[in-house]
Amino acid sequence: MSLMELIVQADERGLAASGVACLDRCLPLLADEGEVLRPLWSGIADGETTWAPRLAAAREAVEAAVTNDETAVLVRKMLAAAPSEWAAEPLRVWSDSCSVVALEIHQQFDVVGDRVAGAPGTVASGAYSDWVARCRAGVAEGADGRPGIGPFVAGPMVAGELRRQIQILEILAETAGAAGLRQALDLSTEGQRVLRAVVSRRARSGS
């Protein structure tokens, strides 16, 4: 099942966790992120009862992180856009947008996947957004079997992020209660470690 199909079929719990997990994996872009989203994961477990107040607390904590990096600001905006209402449709819209933004952020840290026909070393206007849409719909495939359009092929960061997004939604659809959320959090933490290592490596090479 494609990522978009999984998002369409997910319930409030799956949608909220999917969106929060996308943010969780992007937290290494913030200078002092700590464990700011952990209470929000607990809010997902409690559902409507605690989602809104814990979301408000998470927004305050993320706003306090000191960085003006463009992608870090985008993470803040993703959290700011989260609906306080525990309802499927607003959560679906938010989860969907988090999915796209997380993939775009991970692409910025890929060492491959940045070439399209006619524009070596860059992504032509519209090409990447078209690829993201096809990838999420499960119809993007390059000549070597990896997701891609023509010469633009997904790098390991994008491919890994796409895989985690799919796995998290599948886990939450199949595993009820706290057990499913723990598995989703473990996957998200793994992705966070990967991005943190890449961010750290890039910072060292640029110093």
- Give residue 36's pLDDT band: very low, low, confident or very high (50, 70, 90): confident
Q: How far apart are CA 137 and CA 173, in angstroms?
A: 18
Q: Look at 143 and 81; give whichever has higher pLDDT.
A: 81
| pLDDT tens readout for residues 68-87 | 777 778 888 999 999 999 99
Question: Tell me, what's the pLDDT at 140?
Answer: 58
Q: Look at 56 and 109; give whichever has higher pLDDT.
A: 56
Q: How far apart are CA 43 and CA 140, in angstroms?
A: 35
Question: Tell me, what's the pLDDT at 98?
Answer: 95
Please give the mean pLDDT across all residues of the chain.
81
**pTM for the predicted model, two decimal places:** 0.84
- Give residue 155's pLDDT band: very low, low, confident or very high (50, 70, 90): confident
Question: Tell me, what's the pLDDT at 125?
Answer: 41
Residue 117: closest CA among 143, 154, 150, 164: 150
Residue 152's DSSP bridge partners are 149
What's the average model confidence in pLDDT over 106-133?
A: 56
Report whether 105 contacts 71 (CB < 8 A): yes
Domain segments of the chain as ranges:
3-110+164-206, 112-154
